[in-house]
């Protein structure tokens, strides 16, 4: 079996499709590599491609009225993006930039819409994925509007932990924590606040930091304290 076909089996919206269908998707799509910090798409671009991340990580962001970057989310292996513009035919609503070397699988809009027609089960899973993203967005909006700086930073750590953390015996380890400026852009605060808050969390025993690795020592207690 081809590597791309094997990879596509782990993409949530394609997971239940038979091998022969995955082979067809592979044939109608294409692959592209992006280097670190290379833009993949920009806000207001035409929305005619769906992207699936085969490897790597990207950040989805928008620019505020004063020019600051606001990171909406970070996506990794087997995540997809670009679906909103695919479905409504409008321009892109955010920027997507590779934060490490990434390989992406691209499907043109007409081909993806045909897939939805031929395989309605993809539409159901797509709705579930979009609902989960909407819930996460609601949680982030609540945190940014109602919580203090410490609560905002904790919310971002919880989101990253839920998404990419590895849990064992109540300890969650995040192998590649985003750089502090990206964390600040996610939390709507400053890099200095991130540094100060992480140091405070470590001093109080909530987390352990080793380079770009972070361990939440008691995940349930951390959630109870800051949610």
In percent, the amount of the chain with pLDDT more than 90 equals 44
Q: Which pLDDT score is estimated for 6?
A: 58
Query: Mean per-residue pLDDT for 61-65?
Result: 82
d(CA 137, CA 75): 14
Helix or strand holding residue 221 (H, E): helix 219-226
State pTM to two decimals. Answer: 0.78
d(CA 165, CA 163): 6
Q: Which pLDDT score is estimated for 4?
A: 45
Task: Give residue 130's pLDDT band: very low, low, confident or very high (50, 70, 90).
Answer: confident
Tokens of 132: 């989960």
Query: Mean per-residue pLDDT for 53-60?
Result: 93
Query: Mean per-residue pLDDT for 48-73?
Result: 88
Task: With beta carbons less than 8 A apart as the criterion, state whether 52 and 107 touch.
Answer: yes
Task: Give residue 134's pLDDT band: very low, low, confident or very high (50, 70, 90).
Answer: confident
Question: Residue 57: pLDDT above 80?
Answer: yes
In sequence order, what are the beta bridge partners of 171?
168
Task: Give residue 129's pLDDT band: very low, low, confident or very high (50, 70, 90).
Answer: confident
Query: Mean per-residue pLDDT for 70-94?
Result: 88
Q: Which pLDDT score is estimated for 97?
A: 95
Summarised one tens digit per residue, pLDDT across range 84-119 is 888 888 888 899 999 999 999 999 999 999 999 998
Terminal CA-to-CA distance of the chain, rounded, Å? 44
d(CA 39, CA 4): 23
d(CA 143, CA 32): 36
d(CA 171, CA 62): 33
Question: Residue 142: pLDDT above 70?
Answer: yes
Question: Residue 9: pLDDT above 60?
Answer: yes
Residues 6 or more apart in contact with residue 66 via CB below 8 angstroms: none
Question: Residue 1: pLDDT above 60?
Answer: no
E strands, 24-64, are: 30-34, 39-41, 49-55, 58-63
Q: Counting Cβ atoms within 10 Å, is residue 169 exposed (0-12), middle (13-18) or buried (19+)?
A: exposed
In sequence order, what are the beta bridge partners of 193?
none
Q: Which pLDDT score is estimated for 2?
A: 44
Q: Is 204 helix (H, G, I), strand (E, B) or coil?
A: coil
Per-residue b/e over 170-204, b at no fewer than 16 CB within 10 Å?
eebbbebbbeeebbbbbbbbeeebbeebbeebeee
The pLDDT mean for the chain works out to 88
Query: Mean per-residue pLDDT for 43-50?
Result: 87
Which position has the higher pLDDT, 164 or 33? 33
């Amino acid at each position: 079996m081809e590597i791309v076909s094997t990879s596509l089996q782990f993409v949530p919206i394609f997971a239940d499709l038979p091998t022969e269908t995955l082979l067809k998707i592979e044939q109608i799509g294409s692959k592209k590599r992006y280097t670190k910090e290379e833009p993949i798409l920009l806000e207001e671009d035409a929305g005619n491609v769906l992207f699936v991340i085969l490897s790597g990580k990207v950040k989805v962001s928008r620019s505020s009225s004063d020019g600051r970057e606001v990171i909406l989310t970070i996506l990794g292996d087997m995540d997809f993006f670009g679906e909103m513009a695919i479905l409504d035919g409008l321009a892109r609503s955010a920027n997507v930039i590779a934060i490490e070397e990434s390989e992406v699988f691209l499907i043109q809009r007409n081909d993806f819409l045909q897939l939805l027609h031929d395989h309605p089960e993809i539409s159901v899973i797509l709705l579930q994925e979009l609902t989960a993203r909407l819930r996460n967005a609601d949680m982030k909006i609540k945190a940014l509007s109602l919580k203090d700086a410490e609560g905002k930073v904790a919310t971002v750590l919880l989101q990253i932990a839920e998404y990419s953390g590895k849990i064992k015996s109540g300890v969650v380890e995040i192998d590649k924590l985003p750089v502090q400026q990206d964390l600040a852009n996610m939390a709507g605060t400053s890099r200095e606040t991130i540094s100060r808050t992480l140091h405070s969390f470590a001093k109080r025993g909530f987390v352990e930091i080793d380079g770009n690795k972070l361990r939440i020592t008691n995940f349930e207690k951390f959630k109870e304290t800051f949610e």
